[in-house]
């Protein structure tokens, strides 16, 4: 088991792969820890709210009962609400003594930048490095802002005008470029929660496309869910 206080974020791979990495870091089997009074798992398929985070913080504030460290695992932390993520910030920045706090998520883009910046990042799978020149960044940003300020019918027209659905590769590239732009916008925007929801929608759309779902329909559903 690691022997220092830590705030760690594990991203990439599959959920099983992320959990395997947690076991590797801690030097234990997760399935053997559920009755351990010094271990707490926070997990949900829907959402994790601020009250669950407060309970977690109370757990971490207690001295270990039989282990050297209190361990908290937030599995699939992308389901944390914005309020819950904000409540978690201090615990990540200054983990209580004798504690280890580990978050896992499919992609760090699904979490607030303030959460990501306070964690040691462990990337399990290679993530394509996207870079945009200033002119390209401005074009993607302008298109994104135009989309969210258009009616649904206008969004579909823009989709055709820009040739977004020309092929799967073009669409995935567009979604990746938007992710980069939105993350930059989040750094200075009061609309962090709204942008976070859009990033989650982008990630879901990408998973549909990678699963070979209908290209046009997947993008139209994404546009329909934009604010």
Give the pLDDT of residue 3: 46
- Predicted TM-score (pTM) of the model is 0.70
| CA nearest neighbour of 119 among 107, 98, 101 | 101
Structure-token pair, residue 26: 């801690």
**Cβ proximity of 92 and 119 under 8 Å:** yes
Distance CA(171)–CA(175), nearest Å, equals 6
Q: Residues for the chain: how many in total? A: 227
Distance CA(146)–CA(149), nearest Å, equals 5
DSSP state of 62: S
- Distance set, CA 9 to CA 86, 108, 140, 223 (Å): 16, 8, 29, 30
Distance CA(39)–CA(16), nearest Å, equals 19
- Domain range 6-123, CATH class: alpha beta
- In tens digits, the chain (227 residues) has pLDDT values of 454 558 999 998 888 899 999 999 989 899 888 889 999 999 987 889 999 999 999 999 999 988 888 999 999 898 898 899 999 998 998 888 889 999 999 888 888 889 999 999 999 975 556 778 899 999 999 999 999 999 999 999 999 999 999 888 889 889 999 999 998 888 888 878 889 999 999 989 988 887 778 999 999 999 999 88
Domain boundaries, the chain: 6-123, 134-224
């Amino acid at each position: 088991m690691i022997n220092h206080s830590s705030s760690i974020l594990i991203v990439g791979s599959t959920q099983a792969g992320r959990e395997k990495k947690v076991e590797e870091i801690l030097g234990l089997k997760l399935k053997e820890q559920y009755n351990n009074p010094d271990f707490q798992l926070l997990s949900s398929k829907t959402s994790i709210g601020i009250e669950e985070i407060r309970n977690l913080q109370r757990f971490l504030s207690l001295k270990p009962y039989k282990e050297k460290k209190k361990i908290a695992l937030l599995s699939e932390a992308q389901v944390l609400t914005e309020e819950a993520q904000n409540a978690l910030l201090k615990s990540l920045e200054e983990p209580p003594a004798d504690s280890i706090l580990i978050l896992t998520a499919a992609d760090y883009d699904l979490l607030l930048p303030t959460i990501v910046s306070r964690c040691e990042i462990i990337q399990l799978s290679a993530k394509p490095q996207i870079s945009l020149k200033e002119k390209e960044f401005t074009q993607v940003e302008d298109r994104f802002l135009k989309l969210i300020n258009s009616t649904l019918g206008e969004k579909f027209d823009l989709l055709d005008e820009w040739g977004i659905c020309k092929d799967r590769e073009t669409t995935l590239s567009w979604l990746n470029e938007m992710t980069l732009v939105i993350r930059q916008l989040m750094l200075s925007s009061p609309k962090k929660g709204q942008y976070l929801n859009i990033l989650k929608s982008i990630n879901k759309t990408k998973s549909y496309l990678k699963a070979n779902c209908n290209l046009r329909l997947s993008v139209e559903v994404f546009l329909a869910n934009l604010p």
